Chain A
């Protein structure tokens, strides 16, 4: 193939890729916009939101509890180990840990865990419906798939993210305290010190929980709606949902934390 044609082919390929990317981004945005509108005005099956809250919330309780519990233990263990070597003074551990749990670690780590469980679940469900043409069937009977499928999960996820973050924070804090007391002899009264947590922390933590709670179902629903083929398509959609949600959580964490540091620095 002569060089001119080779260059032309390469440009065509880049162009096609860019168009694909843009159309995908547009679709994602439209899913987001439609979901927001649908939350306020859409029609959805009775009781679906509550059912989703049960699926997302109750069923993730043990999962979040176990994972956040272990993370709490590890963090305290590592911190006590290092600070024990450097300063020997572990009295502020609980105080500092509470702050960072509230404004960052609890919502973020809970969201990372949920993006695997809930993200995969939503993508698998919606994806299966897409490849078996049930989504088209919905559209043909006059029901907007987004209102029916995604909005209930959206609302449920936002609510449950907040609830589970709080739950996760408590579990991590308590188990961290037990670790500090048992392995390093830290006095529990000294550890369980919540005086450092202020409204800035709570605000940041809440914002993150809500942001993550919105991102996970939107991205997972989006991946589900784009599933094609058969079982392979559902598998790819699930993978994409988990990765996309996890990555979104990290990027949102970065943005919100940066905002918190730069704009509200003093309060922290």
Chain B
């Protein structure tokens, strides 16, 4: 019995050490990326290439997700609409939820799953096949050439995708409130426009920038610390996606609390 308890505590201790090491590694990576960006001598070619690739690969899935999410918000509000006959509030309710919370979080999660995971897999494969060492041997700094453009690209892509996704979600909401709740398009539209402020929209965008940075850093960190071939890459992708999800939730609370 006592040895079981001991094992448990050792396990907790090990996990805590692992987490601490990873968080430390990510913070160091953040510092190195920032250092590589001042002065901003970024490889523009790499930046553009990455932005196009990331935007292109994630736009369809994010558009679809946003569309259904908009519908989902409407369905959830539908319950209250029937109870309180509050059709006038549906536009506002959906818009508020989408801009401030659901939009940044869900789009962030999908982005992490698609672009973050892909990025980790790419960097992981490059690490395993010594291509990163190859860069260093050619006297090209991996952080400056490879990592920093990806981090910036991921941040900017997520920001753009969140803006687009928010709008599509509202479009979905507009459509489904007519179809399911029989709310006129104009009611929905005016409810949204009359009650929401730019601050609501901007707070969501601040979140998406914060999420984007976090997803980028965790994704790159787990990519370049891969060990062990194909299995190691799979494990790294897993770790990257899970860490990104946790950090999104943590940061969401932090930003919400700080910006009130």
A interface residue numbers (CB < 8 A to B): 63, 66-67, 70-71, 73-75, 77-78, 81-82, 100, 104, 112-113, 115-117, 120-121, 123-125, 127-128, 131-132, 230-236, 238-239, 242-243, 246-247, 250-251, 253-254, 257-258, 261-262, 265, 268
A-chain residues with CB within 8 Å of residue B76 when the two chains form the complex:
100, 104, 257
Interface residues of B in 226-250 (CB under 8 A from A): 229-235, 237-238, 241-242, 244-246, 249-250
Would you list which residues of chain B between 193 and 223 have a CB under 8 Å from chain A?
none
Contact residues in A for B75 (Cβ distance below 8 Å): 254, 257-258, 261
Using A120-B242, A128-B231, A258-B71 as known contacts, list a sample of 12 further A-B pairs with CB atoms less than 8 Å apart, ordered by residue number in A. A81-B260, A100-B76, A113-B245, A128-B234, A230-B230, A234-B230, A242-B114, A246-B113, A250-B72, A251-B68, A254-B68, A265-B79
Q: Is the CB of A120 within 8 A of B246?
A: no
When distances are taken between beta carbons in the complex, the residues of chain B under 8 Å from A230 are 230
Task: List chain A residues, Cβ under 8 A from B72.
Answer: 250, 253-254, 257
Q: Are B71 and A254 in contact (CB under 8 A)?
A: yes
Judging by beta carbons under 8 Å apart, are B121 and A124 in contact? Answer: no
How many angstroms between the C-alpha atoms of A233 and B75 in the bound complex? 38
Question: Which residue of B has the minimal Cβ distance to A75?
Answer: B101
A125 to B231, CA, bound (A): 8
- Given A70-B252, A132-B230, the answer on whether A238 and B238 have CB atoms closer than 8 Å is yes
Q: Which of B113, B114, B120, B249 contacts A70, CB < 8 Å?
A: B249
B interface, size bucket: 35 or more
Name B114's contact: one of A100, A233, A243 (CB within 8 Å). A243
A63 touches B180 (CB 8 A): no
Measured CB to CB, the closest approach of chain B to A86, in angstroms, equals: 10
Complex contact A258–B180 (CB within 8 A): yes
Q: B142 at the A/B interface (Cβ < 8 Å)?
A: no
Q: Is the CB of B237 within 8 A of A116?
A: no
20 contacts between A and B (CB under 8 A): A63-B246, A74-B252, A75-B101, A82-B96, A113-B245, A120-B234, A120-B237, A120-B242, A123-B234, A128-B230, A131-B230, A234-B234, A238-B241, A239-B118, A243-B61, A243-B113, A247-B64, A254-B75, A257-B76, A261-B180
- Chain B positions 28-53 with a Cβ under 8 Å from a chain A Cβ: none
Q: Tell which of B65, B82, B117, B125 touches A265, judged by Cβ atoms closer than 8 Å.
A: B82
Measured in the bound complex, the distance between the Cα atoms of B106 and A183 in whole Å is 26
Closest partner residue, chain B, to A235 (CB atom): B121
Q: Are A116 and B249 in contact (CB under 8 A)?
A: no
A216–B124 Cα distance when bound, in Å, is: 25
Task: Give which listed residue, B100, B110, B237, contacts A124 with CB less than 8 A.
Answer: B237
Quick check: is B69 within 8 A (CB to CB) of the other chain? yes
In the complex, what residues of B have CB within 8 A of residue A247's CB? 61, 64-65, 110
Known: A131-B230, A247-B64, A254-B71. A120 touches B257 (CB 8 A): no
Q: A78-B256, A120-B117, A243-B110 are in contact. Are A67 and B249 (CB under 8 A)?
A: yes
Interface contact A238-B234, CB-CB below 8 Å = yes
The residues of B that contact A232 with a CB separation of less than 8 Å are: 121-122, 125, 233
Whether A231 contacts B124 by the Cβ 8 Å rule is yes
B residues near A243, Cβ cutoff 8 Å? 61, 110, 113-114
Nearest CB in chain B: distance from A66 CB, A: 6
Give the chain A neighbours of B65 by CB distance below 8 A.
246-247, 250
Q: How distant is the Cα of A125 from the Cα of B238 in the complex, in angstroms?
A: 10
Closest chain A CB from B157 CB (angstroms): 16
Q: Is the CB of A112 within 8 A of B109?
A: yes
Chain A: minimal CB distance from B177 (Å): 12
